[in-house]
Chains A and B, each alone.
Chain A
Amino acid sequence: MLAKGQPVPIAGTDDEPFSILADDGTIRPGTDAPEIPDEQALKLYRGMLQVRLVDDRMMKLQRQGRLGFYMLSMGEEATHFGGAYPLRMSDWCFPSYREPGVFFWRGYSIKDYVNQLHGNIEDPVKGRQMPVHHSANWLNMVSISSPVGTQIPQAVGLAMGAKISKKDDVSLVYFGEGATSTGQFHVAMNFAGVFKAPCILFCRNNGWAISTPGNKQTASKSIAIKALAYGMPGIRVDGNDLLAIIAVMQDAVARARAGEGPTLIEAVTYRRGGHSSSDDPSAYRDPSEPKEWEAKDPLERWRRHLESRKLWTQELHDKYSQEITEELMACVKAAGELGNPAPETLFDDVFAELPPHLEEQKAEMMSRPRPKPAHGGH
């Protein structure tokens, strides 16, 4: 275990990612695991299960033509909850488009989630963005952008802002290994290092950026090793090991809060599904590859861990599944029955107040017959 205040080792690909939980869910000998109280341990299980069940149902809805688009997280759920768990509510998170678990952990409801996917009148972002581009300012969850990497300098800037304001809040920013090829990543790493920003830069290295494998993104031995050049600690962690992610996150958060600056975390995981509902991975990768990763499933590993702590039972699992599914189905039904945001809201929120030219365009739009909605059955 990495003690608070100690420099975190830079681990290259030659080293195994830092891991605490063995495949059978027991704690590896010689590792110092963070203590997760029983209630929290079960809540983490329920959360990961919720992402799994919601993803499954939403992909089905997408295939039925009831959702325009979807992106699933199958096999990467531990990165969501391992990142979210050590944060306070006054901390901030800049998600990319594959961390719904962070939203859920901080209190985003299934109802909000499903309404966003539908872009209906109760969508928290008012139908302004494609499905999975959530935003929840009441949870310090920042609006998601589609272009990869743009959120990284913003998260560093927010952390700089906290430091300037003499607060000990930290920011956590997620991105995939593909985003480490962007200029935004390098600019952000450099700013974070120079300003000792209290920021945790969390790379979900899931091996694939749509059809492009990780070895086409970088010639570095790892993502974590890039931290060295920017004067910050970098660590490679098993991205399917919830306990190990919590451990490295706790360490990084403690360092950030103590004014010791940023940390780059590379969580090594795998994108078992397609990039999105529009993608077909069978066109570019060996189907045996995702199969192999099924054996390392993070939810199953956590289940075994809970079983070893005598916390998990089939009955409890069934109860969680039933509760989640019932809530989800009710939300899906309700979301499908809700109407679209009113046409005139198209012009809201471009600016704080409606300027004259938009007033004029709004009047023009409202004076003509309404077209059919662009998507959905509502």
Chain B
Amino acid sequence: MPVWNIIQAVNDALRIEMRRDPRVVILGEDVGKFGGVFRATTGLFDEFGGDRVFDTPLAEAGIIGSAIGMALYGLRPVPEIQFADFIYPAYDQIVNELAKFRYRSGGQYPVPVVIRTPYGGGIRGGHYHSQSPEAYFAHTPGLKVVIPSNPYDAKGLLLSSIRGEDPVIFMEPKRVYRAAKGEVPEGDYTVPLGKAKVVREGSQLTVLCYGAMVHTCVEAAQLAEKDGFDPEIIDLRTLLPLDTETVLESVRKTGRVVIAHEAPKTCGYGAELAAMIAEKALMSLEAPISRVAGFDTPFPYTLENEYMPSPDRVALAIKQTAQF
């Protein structure tokens, strides 16, 4: 089995699906001949031609708006938004249009568009190349939100997303695009949406995370382990729909919860997780739920390591929560 990084896995998923389904088209800024600024669409223009892999003018509202039209005509567009930080000009098309088309038309018009976008910090990108806007989309009825942490999941989840009938915001953890490597089967396989994965079994407390934060949390667990702590780590993989069963099963076992994400703390996805756990498993809790998140400031440039939840910060939260 080849060992690939996330970029290679995403690229392979796109190639497999474009070979399998002639309705799949890719559009976005610099995704054609150049293969995307992160090279996720490398080689696809050469294999499938400019009708199916094409560069657009530099306007995100046009990319998503036109993708909606293509989906209405029966295509399966997979637009790329170059950085999640640039998604806001398309916000109206995503939140008011894409998410609501099926519902507002009484089920007449499904629009299965999968928006791929790299997100997250740790690449010295400052405000506009580092943000984690997942909560905006998880808060929007009609959208699925998927965030893989590793190459195997990236390929399987992307294939599931494109084959599904719903719009998906597929956020790729760009900090670990190349750093996260793993064995990836060469052929076709899928990872179902809405299923979390226990990446480290533990007895003492539950760490909930997704995307690049999974790697931070695994490192944090290794640090904590040295001091005798035994955390369980759950990679959510899909934020919406959330796999509440896997989360609650773990929480009922451990009674303690740490949530980690890069996005700002207030109204971040961790707030939803904490509320859900409080609603459904309060009596299992033996400590306050702890959130390790980005601060409620714009994403900084020079001080990004202060801002980003680090293994040390997560490890501290693990210890404090376990000892509460």
Contacts and interface: CB of A to CB of B under 8 A. Distances in A.
Interface string B7-19: 0000000000000
Contacts of B75: 161, 164-165
A188 B69 CA distance: 11
A191 B104 contact: no
Interface stretch (B58-66, B202-210, B260-268, B293-301): B58-66
A161 B70 contact: yes
A63 B108 CA distance: 31
A369 interface: no
Interface string A159-173: 111101100010100
B19 to A, nearest CB: 17
Interface in A26-67: none
Contacts of B106: 123-126, 128, 135, 349
Which among B57, B101, B106, B165 has the highest number of chain A CB atoms within 10 Å?
B106
Contact of A352 (B64, B71, B96, B166): B166
Interface string A63-93: 0000000000000000000000000000010
A171 B97 CA distance: 18
A276 interface: no
A277 interface: no
A156 to B, nearest CB: 6
B70 A191 contact: no
Interface residues of A, number: 46
B141 A356 contact: no
Interface string A92-130: 100000000000000000000000000000011110110
A136 interface: yes
Interface in B43-95: 51-52, 56-57, 59, 61-62, 64-75, 89, 92-93
A350 B25 contact: no
For chain B, give the interface size range: 35 or more
A352 B163 CA distance: 12
Given A135-B109, A147-B92, A350-B142, A158 B52 contact: no
A184 B64 CA distance: 11
B66 A153 contact: yes
Interface stretch (A137-145, A240-248, A291-299, A312-320): A137-145
A137 B142 CA distance: 19
A133 interface: yes
Contacts of A126: 106-107
A162 B70 CA distance: 8
Contact of B164 (A164, A171, A352): A352
Most buried by B among A129, A157, A162: A157
Most buried by A among B72, B93, B241: B72
Contacts of A348: 107
Given A184-B65, A350-B103, A357-B241, A165 B110 contact: no
Given A352-B164, A352-B166, A357-B241, A158 B72 contact: yes
Interface in B102-150: 102-110, 141-142, 144
B73 A158 contact: yes
Contacts of B102: 349-352
Interface string A315-350: 000000000000000000000000000000000111
B182 interface: no
A156 B69 contact: yes
Given A165-B75, A350-B103, A157 B66 contact: yes
Contacts of A160: 66, 69-70
A129 B97 CA distance: 13
A376 interface: no
B108 A137 contact: yes
Given A147-B92, A161-B69, A352 B62 contact: no
A150 interface: yes
A169 B72 CA distance: 13
A303 B25 CA distance: 48
A135 B69 contact: no
Interface in A146-196: 147, 150, 152-162, 164-165, 169, 171, 183-184, 187-188, 190-191, 194
B244 interface: yes
B233 interface: no
A355 interface: yes
Given A147-B92, A350-B142, A191 B56 contact: yes
A165 B166 contact: no
Given A165-B75, A350-B142, A143 B70 contact: no
A165 B74 contact: yes
A142 B166 CA distance: 18
B292 interface: no
B194 A355 contact: yes
Contact of B104 (A143, A159, A171): A143
Contacts of A351: 102, 142, 144, 165-166
A124 B108 contact: yes
Contacts of B245: 356
B23 to A, nearest CB: 9
Contacts of B89: 183
Nearest to B241: A355
A188 B93 CA distance: 12
B222 to A, nearest CB: 33
Contact of A188 (B51, B62, B104): B62
Nearest to B67: A157
B156 to A, nearest CB: 19
Contact of B65 (A124, A137, A150): A150
A171 B68 CA distance: 14
Given A145-B97, A154-B97, 15 more contacts: A92-B73, A125-B104, A126-B106, A137-B108, A150-B92, A152-B65, A156-B62, A169-B73, A171-B69, A184-B65, A188-B62, A188-B65, A348-B107, A350-B142, A351-B144
19 contacts: A92-B73, A124-B108, A125-B108, A150-B92, A153-B62, A154-B72, A156-B69, A164-B52, A165-B74, A183-B89, A184-B61, A190-B57, A191-B59, A191-B62, A351-B102, A351-B166, A352-B110, A355-B194, A356-B244
Report, nearest first, the 7 A-B pairs whose CB atoms are least far apart: A157-B69, A153-B65, A157-B66, A161-B73, A158-B69, A355-B241, A352-B165
